[in-house]
Structure formats: C-alpha cells, structure tokens
Amino acid sequence: MKTEITELLDIKYPFIQGGMAWVATYELAAAVSEAGSLGIIGSGGAPAQWVREQIAEVKKRTQKPFGVNLMLMNPEADEIAEILAEEKIKVVTTGAGNPEKYMSLWKKAGVKVIPVVASVAMAKRMERCGADAVVAEGCESGGHIGETTTMALVPQVVDAVQIPVIAAGGIADGRGAAAAFMLGAKAVQMGTRFVVAEECPVHQNYKDIIFKSKDIDTRVTGRTTGHPVRTIRNQQTREYLRLEKEGASLEELERLSLGGLRRAVVEGDVTGGSVMAGQIAGLVKKGGTCAEILEELESETLAVINKTMDMLIKMGRGSNEEK
Ligand code: TUI
C-alpha cells in the first residue's frame, strides 16, 4: 500500500503507531517498526535521560525507521528536543502544543517533523514552518484531545495544506482506515489498537479494560482546566467530573489526576488510575502481535476498498462503463 507517507518514511504499511505516554516504550516501538510500520516512542512527561535510554533500546532491536513523540508540556522538552537532533531520529512527532521553536534544530539534523494537530489553523502554521506532514487528530482519540471529530477535521486539514495528512482518532480497523483514505489522508495513526498488542508492555488489567469496554465507555475530564483528556470511565473519572462540576480548583483537580496514567499502565490500577483510550476501544476485542495487527489492517482495508469498487460497478458507475 504505497502512499506519500510510506514513501516519505520508508515503511511498508500506511498505519503508524501513536506515541502514547507511558505506553509506547521501546518494546512497542521496536516491534511496530520491525513489523514494517513506524513505531514511535512516547516521551510523555518522562525525563530526558529516559528518552535517551529508550532510543538506545530501539536501536538495539531494529535497523528500521522509528520515531519519537515529544509531548510539548514535558518540563524537559528543550533537552529532549536536543537529544532527538543529536541522535538524528528519523521522525519526530509532537503533541499537546506548538513545536515551532524546535523546527530549525530538527530540520538541520535531517529529522522529519510531523506535528500532531487538532485544528486547521495549527496545520497551516506547521506547514509554513517546515513540517513534512501533519497528523490530524480528532477528538475520538484517547489522551489529550482537541474539539473537532476526525470525520470533520481530516478533510478540512487536507484542503488547507499541501503536505500529506495522517488521520488519527477513532480508527482501529480496515473500515476506519479506508474511510480515512476517502477523506484524503495518506496514512492512519492508531493508538488504542496498539495498546493491546502482545508486545505492548502495559499491565494486563489495562488491556482487559479496553477489551471489555463498549462504545459509550469513555469520558473527557479537564474540559474546565483547558486540558481535556479522554479516558475509559471509572471511579477516577466519576470523582474528577463531580469535582469539576462543583468548581474545584485547578490544584485540587491536578492532585487527583497526577500520576494517574502511570498507576493504570504500570500498576494496573484501572479503577483509581487514568486509563487513556479512544472512543474506538469498544471495537477492539483482540490483541495479536504487531505484525498480525498490521497484516490484518492491510487486508481489511484493501477488502473494503475492493467492495467499494464493486459497489460502483453495481451502481453502473464502474470505470469501464464510464468510458
Ligand atoms: O498529545 C496528544 N495526546 C496526549 S499527550 C498525553 S500526556 C498527558 N498526560 C497527562 C495529562 C495530560 C497529558 C496524553 N495524550 N495528542 C496530540 C494532540 N495535540 N492533541 C491535541 C493537540 C494539540 C493541542 C493544542 C496540538 C496543538 C495545540 O496547539 C495549542 C497551541 O499552542 O496553540
């Protein structure tokens, strides 16, 4: 499935893995890259030294391209940005902010830069400052989100920029991927689908909650603080939303959520922790290795596109009839 993105990144599949905080460690990133896609280490709020070690571990395990996501609210973002340039990381994605100030540093080091954006304005700005592509991430995604859905955001971003657009948010199978291609995306980024991959080292409780979740099981906390975050609903989200409704202070809310993601991912505390996952979690019912996930995504996507071509022929609008 050659697209502008598979060519740009020198990968086999147009399905890349989201750089999820705490979740996307070297084990997952190396497995996804080795299987033929782009694995991405998620820096989240981790210290710079941790990021350096993770890069070394991926390099030990694969010769294939991989990426690092820089979460821009990380207090050590400046230092991590330097490391990414020093290590000549093939692809850097960014999240939760504007990476403009690092752009020339990365471009000089030959790093391909793919900011994650949640609006047309940010996509245009990123194109102007030299981004190689953008990930247009709809609010169906897990974790830190914007306002607009994938269905509405992707075609608007596609129309607004010349660089290739990668769709993200609410996609976990071939139907979603085919739909994203119909909207003009040149690849798809997935998070929740890769959380349950065999090679992904999150606590089994985290994977089990995803398998058990239904369509209506995610909640968005933090809308009042300006940092909306989507997670699977649990005791933590109930308590947070109750406090938010009562007008609790920022400090009180932060105290509640601090370390919640680590508690869920590492300790398996899926009731009091923060189980970040997208709205598509309800569709994710099996794990599999990264290689199996990618092969299945490819065959499903091609089957959907083929079915669409059959549909056109039945409608009397197949390419042969039109000639
Ligand atoms: O970054 C994400 N998703 C994330 S980051 C994260 S780490 C975290 N942990 C605990 C609490 C909060 C966060 C978990 N999930 N997705 C990419 C993304 N970026 N979504 C939305 C944006 C975004 C938002 C605003 C990008 C740019 C932007 O620009 C604001 C500005 O500076 O104008």
Q: Using CA of residue 215, residue 22, residue 75, residue 273, what is the dihedral sign? A: positive
Local mean pLDDT, 10-residue blocks, the chain (323 residues): 97 98 98 98 97 98 98 97 98 97 98 98 98 98 97 98 98 98 98 98 98 98 94 97 93 84 97 98 98 98 95 81 49
For residue 143, the ligand 1 atom closest to its alpha carbon is: 15
- Is residue 118 within 6 Å of ligand 1 at its C-beta? yes
What fold is seen in the domain 4-202+284-314? TIM Barrel (3.20.20)
pTM over 0.85, yes/no: yes
C-beta pairs of 257-261 under 8 Å, 24+ apart in sequence: 257/221, 257/222, 257/229, 260/236, 261/21, 261/22, 261/44
Atom 24, ligand 1: which residue's CA is nearest? 96
What pLDDT sits at residue 323?
A: 46
Q: Is 85 near ligand 1, meaning CB less than 6 Å away?
A: no
DSSP state of 12: S
pLDDT of the residue at 254: 83
CA 68/CA 50 separation, integer angstroms: 12
CA 160/CA 154 separation, integer angstroms: 10
Ligand 1 atom nearest residue 45's Cα: 7
Domain boundaries, the chain: 4-202+284-314, 204-280
Closest among 199, 248, 75 to 257, alpha carbons compared: 248
pLDDT of residue 317: 80
Residue nearest (by alpha carbon) to ligand 1 atom 17: 95
Structure token pair of residue 310: 């059959």
